[in-house]
Structure 1
Amino acid sequence: MTTTFITGANKSLGYETARRLLEAGHTVLIGAREPRRGRAAAEALGARFVQLDVTDDASVEAAAADVAAREGTIDVLVNNAGVGGPQGPAEELTAADALAVYDVNVFGVVRVTRAFLPLLRGSADPVVVNVTSGLGSFAATHDPERVEGRVVAPLYASSKSALTMLTTQYARALPGVRFTAVDPGYTATDLNGHSGPQTVTEGTDAVVAAATAGPGGPSGEFRDRYGVVPW
């Protein structure tokens, strides 16, 4: 049985990822910051809720300890939790704004990955899936034919670019664990006011594919639902 831990799994892409992986036979642990919503999501899906605030070291360590005591190991870690940050004019962005976005989208991934690596190392085929974005891609954001080329989101986009590079560096530094950065694509979620043309099922295709690739799957790649993409 494959055991998967998903951060930010109480709604949108995280929730749909959990649903699909449960359907695929995984044991799924729902990581969420807000206990009421996290428990409700876990109960609706038939998963187990683990309280987790990716911006809080103590919360992350407590979550890892909880999983160590209950499950002992995990096979897949999906770093899905993310925030969009402020939407105001670029000239009004502050360092505090940047820290808040990076604290979830980048530093949160570092916290969770560090805490859960000992649990992953107990797996025969450990996998980490980092949910990034095409908005962090130089190729996509410089292509006027793509939606990413028409969006201005300095903090979110740069944080996702950092996350993709972090993924490739982890893959190089930790060859015993497969790391993949995945771009869901422009999906209708709370993050964009449900304006994306893709459904959450389509948006989780790349996440599910990376989580279920099996031994010998790719590592250190940036992928979307169609395959490897330029970055």
Structure 2
Amino acid sequence: MISAEALVKRYGSRTAVDSIDFTVEPGQVTGFLGPNGAGKSTTMRMIVGLDRPTSGAVRVNGRSYVRHPAPLHEVGVLLDAKAVNRGRTAFQHLRGIAATHGIGVSRVRQVLELAGLESVAGKRVGGFSLGMGQRLGIAAALLGDPSTVILDEPVNGLDPEGVRWVRTLMRTLAAEGRTVLLSSHLMSEMSQTADRLIVIGRGRILADGAVGDVVGSSASLEDAYLALTAGDVEYHSTLTATAHDEGALR
């Protein structure tokens, strides 16, 4: 379980996360939604100890991430699929991570197969496509067979088969009783994958509840999301949802 209490993160005069409280329960997929700059990435970085809260606390399974003696077995995380040594092979990359926790080669091969990368295990990751890099990042997150999984935009760059694989994987992990926190800007995919949603805007929680409750009377999750975040979007286009004719683009 992930729990945040009065969580705040400030960078100088800017407040990125503004006193938020939430709980991510095991046994379900929790979607984490919000516009660019809303505070999602900052929150996820605080969960896994990459950023220190200005105040408040966030815990995974009852303690802060940095206090877990073997964090890979507690939390699997994908925040940036590009954060790899491009000169290493996929196998070498995973083997290096596994070695920090005494995880054996058999598990490395298992997650490579799970991610569909066994045929390219000996290739350097610098030559990987965006989708292959995402698969490698997910494989790394699963190395320690963690009870909690946190993935930021995991379907970015994946083809339809890969998107379905991630969806099925998230549902399977939740069905096994694990805690799953998933961030994505793809509303249609989130509506098929998540059980519960946390929506954040300008560092504050805008909605927290079951998908159906968040959607409410809206026609779709996308409509509900756009209504919730209308006042919290940093960048607005000059086109409106009704500007479909060619004249609107001139």
Q: Confirm or deny a common fold (TM above 0.5).
A: no
Higher relative contact order (CA 8 A, sep 6+): 2
Q: If the length of structure 1 is used for normalisation, what is the TM-score?
A: 0.34
- Greater strand percent: which structure? 2
Q: If the length of structure 2 is used for normalisation, what is the TM-score?
A: 0.32
Structure (1 or 2) with the larger CA radius of gyration: 2
